Amino acid sequence: MNIPRFTPGALRLRWKQHFGHGLRAAWYRDVVRPRILHTAAVTGTTDPTAEIHVLTSAGDWLNLLWTLKSFYAVAPRKYALCIHGDKTLPAVALENLAQHFPDARIIPRDEADARADTVLRDFPRCRQFRNTNLLAPKVFDFPAFLGTDRMALFDSDLLFFAEPEEYLRRIEDPEFRQNAFNADIASSYTVEPAAVIERCGFALHPKINSGLGLIHRASMRLDWIEEFLSLPGITEGHFWRIEQTLYALCSSRYGVELLPAPYTFYHEPGLHGRPFRHYIGCIRHLMYEEGMRQLTRNGFLRQR
């Protein structure tokens, strides 16, 4: 009988193909992650100081439960909540989200499409972009359904480990008039800063990451976005960079700052005492094997 022989490198490759980034990540993703469904509902999310807006999908809604419940667990706040579903979000996800956040507004895609048809009627570039970009609802639907003057912008791949004091301070300071974001490791935009200065007359702020932010309603003007969508190359490149670029452009014109260093995105493993981490796609495995593991060890899933 011929027994296949593998080099150590080939064995590691087969392991990674089977378990993704390892058995621990697979365990927390597939076994531990669904246990969030057995935790208590978060009620009373009606505080109009700010309204959290987040877009989720069939692949992300379980992660979103961890995102939102970890935030409400560590932040003594009950900010209003609005959850937007994309075209893939199944009925079972809508039912679970409504059960776990009974006071939230949950916006199905068909309702958002009907609102967009009206809101974007006089903005052809905006309408075309929303119809072709998966993350465009973050740019248009969030402000269209915003029930307060200040929006807490969330992605569904965030985890919170301690009270995000600096972020909350900006949200709740009535004198703070700028937008604020967690910082990226480098600028990830689809336009050149020189083109923005030449065509629009202002400087594009570097390193804005649109995963976590404070957004003022007045900063997301449709006439501005319609103008920005005429910039050379803005709709070219990865779909998430376009949405991030539009947030960066609107915020740079309106006024913006980056949150302090503990909120900055990074690739390396380790929490280092930070209150929050953004687990984008290339480090999504760390959301499971690091972030969910840490929360579980802290008793997060035992909270009732």
What's the predicted TM-score (pTM) here? 0.91
User: For the chain, what is the domain count?
Assistant: 1
Residues 6+ apart with CB under 8 A from 260: 166
pLDDT per residue rounded down to tens, the chain (304 residues): 333 344 544 434 444 544 555 899 999 999 999 999 999 999 999 999 999 999 999 999 999 999 999 999 999 999 999 999 999 999 999 999 999 999 999 999 999 999 999 999 999 999 999 999 999 999 999 999 999 999 999 999 999 999 999 999 999 999 999 999 999 999 999 999 999 999 999 999 999 999 999 999 999 999 999 999 999 999 998 878 999 999 999 999 999 999 999 999 999 999 999 999 999 999 999 999 999 999 999 999 987 5
Tokens describing residue 130 = 């929303």
Question: What CATH number does the domain containing 79 carry?
Answer: 3.90.550.10
Residue 162 lies in a domain: yes
Are residues 66 and 125 in contact, defined by beta-carbon separation less than 8 angstroms? Answer: no
Residue 14 lies in a domain: no
Residue 213 lies in a domain: yes
Residue 208 lies in a domain: yes
Residue 159 lies in a domain: yes
Whole-number Cα distances in Å, 195 to 8, 53, 74, 116, 119: 50, 31, 42, 29, 28
Residue 234 lies in a domain: yes
Residue 296 lies in a domain: yes
Residue 16 lies in a domain: no
Domain span at residue 88 reads 27-302
| Separation CA 85–CA 110 (nearest Å) | 9
| Separation CA 266–CA 247 (nearest Å) | 20
